């Protein structure tokens, strides 16, 4: 059961202590206080853990400081919507993320050279973008392929991010030790930027890595849906992160593996944007680049990547992760799907048109 306190009630208040005291009178019940950054307000929630079916809701609802109580379902205890829990939101390095916000993260699939990073960041700054992606640790199908420059590229990557006002860099980790490498490198250059730790599709069920990402509070986590597992399994993976203590999670849809990967690298699954927003309290990201995997052009002249991006945004996506590269022919990873820097303005304008259209659709929905 979740006991939602009224907006002005602080986690360390007497009111919260009174609720905990009453809850812990029931046998086997343990209360946990969580501060929730909801979409529009900050809330204190008290989670009752243990055999809560025996615990009635009414006595708690009689407290003047209690807004409501919600019975939680077994499924997705920490991240689930249950019966009316508000979506989570959080602010990281000055950027707000929730089911109401929208950000585009254009950037390099993998860091290759300092020069390419600088060209990329310069273009982002010129376009007014402060969120990007850049891989230093790359999980590759073949052990002989470029594996990323690892920690050696972090100093110049972070320094350039600071120079060009990049506030958040989405960066995959493949091993827990890389969290410390990122933290140390950020500190060494004076924390000029922030990092959103990415758990890639190949590690979607690496439970030990999920627990490590969940047990640190320094970085939010971008969790990429497992490409060959069910949505339920992917959301349970997010539950691993949240139950370990970190609920600053964004779920990223990035396509599913299908027979032969034809016509796209992965089967685009952006119809699941509203599904994830309904089942969970988490913001949802789409990755059109790893879904489509190539720059094929549709009959109307728009890239397939643009079409699927629009499909995700019109369905309510809160974030778009998209590959760009100043010289894709030189890219050491995923060059064929990278958009060019001169294509950035059109990509952003197209995304903005669709986002506006989504907001209008929501405004015009019939009252329920």
User: Which residues contact Mn ion (rule: CB under 5 A)?
Assistant: 109, 334
Give the integer Cα–Cα distance in Å for 82 and 336: 42
Partner interacting with residue 38 (select from Mn ion, ligand PEP, none; CB below 5-8 Å by kind): none
Partner interacting with residue 201 (select from ligand PEP, Mn ion, none; CB below 5-8 Å by kind): ligand PEP
R_g (Cα) of the chain, nearest Å: 21
CB of 187 to ligand PEP, least distance (A): 25
Nearer to ligand PEP, 72 or 285 (CB): 285
CB of 16 to Mn ion, least distance (A): 45
The angle at the Cα of 164, spanning 199 to 125, to the nearest 5 degrees, equals: 90
Give the integer Cα–Cα distance in Å for 36 and 53: 24
Return all residues near 188 (Cβ < 8 A) that are at least 6 apart.
Answer: 155
Residue 335 CB coordination number (10 Å):
16
**Which two structure tokens, joined as six digits, stand for 13?**
């208040």
Q: Please give the C-alpha separations between residue 62 and each of 19, 49, 50, 59, 240, in angstroms, as whole numbers.
A: 10, 20, 22, 5, 33
Partner interacting with residue 269 (select from ligand PEP, Mn ion, none; CB below 5-8 Å by kind): none
- Stretch in the footprint of ligand PEP (CB under 6 A) among 6-14, 124-132, 194-202, 310-318: 194-202
- Stretch in the footprint of ligand PEP (CB under 6 A) among 55-63, 99-107, 200-208, 309-317: 200-208
CB of 335 to ligand PEP, least distance (A): 13
Strands (E), the chain: 2-5, 30-37, 42-49, 66-70, 89-92, 95-98, 103-107, 131-133, 168-172, 194-199, 221-224, 249-253, 284-286, 319-323
Partner interacting with residue 283 (select from Mn ion, ligand PEP, none; CB below 5-8 Å by kind): none
Instruction: Examine residue 316 and tell whether it contacts ligand PEP (CB under 6 A).
Output: no
Nearer to ligand PEP, 167 or 290 (CB): 290
Partner interacting with residue 200 (select from ligand PEP, Mn ion, none; CB below 5-8 Å by kind): ligand PEP
Burial class (CB in 10 A: 0-12, 13-18, 19+), 103: buried
CB of 135 to ligand PEP, least distance (A): 5
**Which two structure tokens, joined as six digits, stand for 161?**
């991010």
Nearer to ligand PEP, 49 or 231 (CB): 231
Alpha helices in 92-176 (DSSP H): 114-126, 154-163
Return all residues near 67 (Cβ < 8 A) that are at least 6 apart.
Answer: 4, 5, 6, 7
Nearer to Mn ion, 86 or 334 (CB): 334
Nearer to Mn ion, 304 or 334 (CB): 334
Instruction: Examine residue 290 and tell whether it contacts ligand PEP (CB under 6 A).
Output: yes
Instruction: Examine residue 109 and tell whether it contacts ligand PEP (CB under 6 A).
Output: yes
Give the integer Cα–Cα distance in Å for 47 and 82: 13
Nearer to Mn ion, 82 or 175 (CB): 175
Instruction: Examine residue 201 and tell whether it contacts ligand PEP (CB under 6 A).
Output: yes
Q: CA dihedral defined by 17, 23, 24, 27, rounded to 10 degrees?
A: 180
CB of 333 to Mn ion, least distance (A): 6
- Answer whether 146's CB lies under 8 Å from 134's CB: no
Nearer to ligand PEP, 45 or 323 (CB): 323
Instruction: Examine residue 325 and tell whether it contacts ligand PEP (CB under 6 A).
Output: no
CB of 280 to ligand PEP, least distance (A): 18
Nearer to ligand PEP, 109 or 279 (CB): 109
Binding region for ligand PEP (CB under 6 A): 109, 135, 172, 200-202, 224, 254, 287, 290
């Amino acid at each position: 059961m979740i006991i939602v306190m009224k907006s002005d009630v602080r986690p360390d208040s007497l009111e919260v202590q009174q609720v905990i005291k009453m809850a812990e009178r029931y046998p086997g019940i343990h209360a946990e206080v969580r501060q929730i950054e909801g979409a529009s307000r900050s809330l204190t929630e008290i989670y009752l853990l243990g055999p809560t079916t025996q615990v009635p809701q009414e006595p708690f609802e009689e407290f003047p400081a209690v807004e409501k109580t919600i019975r939680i379902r077994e499924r997705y205890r920490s991240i689930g919507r249950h019966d009316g829990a508000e979506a989570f939101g959080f602010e990281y390095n000055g950027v707000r993320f929730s089911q109401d916000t929208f950000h585009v993260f254009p950037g390099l699939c993998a860091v290759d050279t300092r020069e390419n990073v600088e060209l990329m960041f310069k273009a982002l700054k010129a376009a007014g973008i402060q969120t990007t992606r850049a891989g230093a640790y790359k999980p590759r199908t073949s052990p002989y392929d470029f594996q990323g420059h690892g920690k050696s590229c972090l100093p110049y990557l972070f320094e350039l991010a600071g120079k060009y006002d990049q506030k958040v860099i989405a960066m995959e980790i493949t091993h827990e030790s890389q969290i410390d490498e990122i933290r140390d490198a950020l500190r060494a250059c004076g924390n000029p930027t922030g990092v959103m730790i990415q758990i890639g599709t190949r590690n979607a069920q690496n439970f030990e890595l999920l627990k490590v990402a969940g047990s640190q509070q320094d970085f939010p986590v971008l969790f990429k849906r497992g490409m060959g597992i069910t949505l339920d399994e992917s959301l349970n993976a997010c539950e691993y992160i949240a139950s370990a203590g970190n609920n600053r999670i964004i779920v990223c849809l990035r396509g599913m593996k299908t027979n032969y990967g034809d016509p796209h690298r992965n089967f685009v699954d952006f119809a699941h944007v509203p599904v994830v927003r309904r089942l969970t309290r988490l913001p949802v990201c789409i990755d059109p680049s790893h879904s489509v995997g190539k720059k094929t052009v549709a009959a109307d002249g728009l890239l397939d990547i643009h079409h699927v991006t629009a499909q995700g945004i019109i369905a309510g996506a809160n974030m778009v992760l998209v590959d760009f590269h100043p010289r894709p022919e030189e890219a050491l990873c995923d060059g064929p799907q990278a958009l060019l820097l001169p294509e950035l303005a059109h990509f952003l304008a197209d995304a903005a048109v669709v986002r506006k259209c989504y907001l209008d659709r929501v405004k015009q929905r019939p009252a329920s």
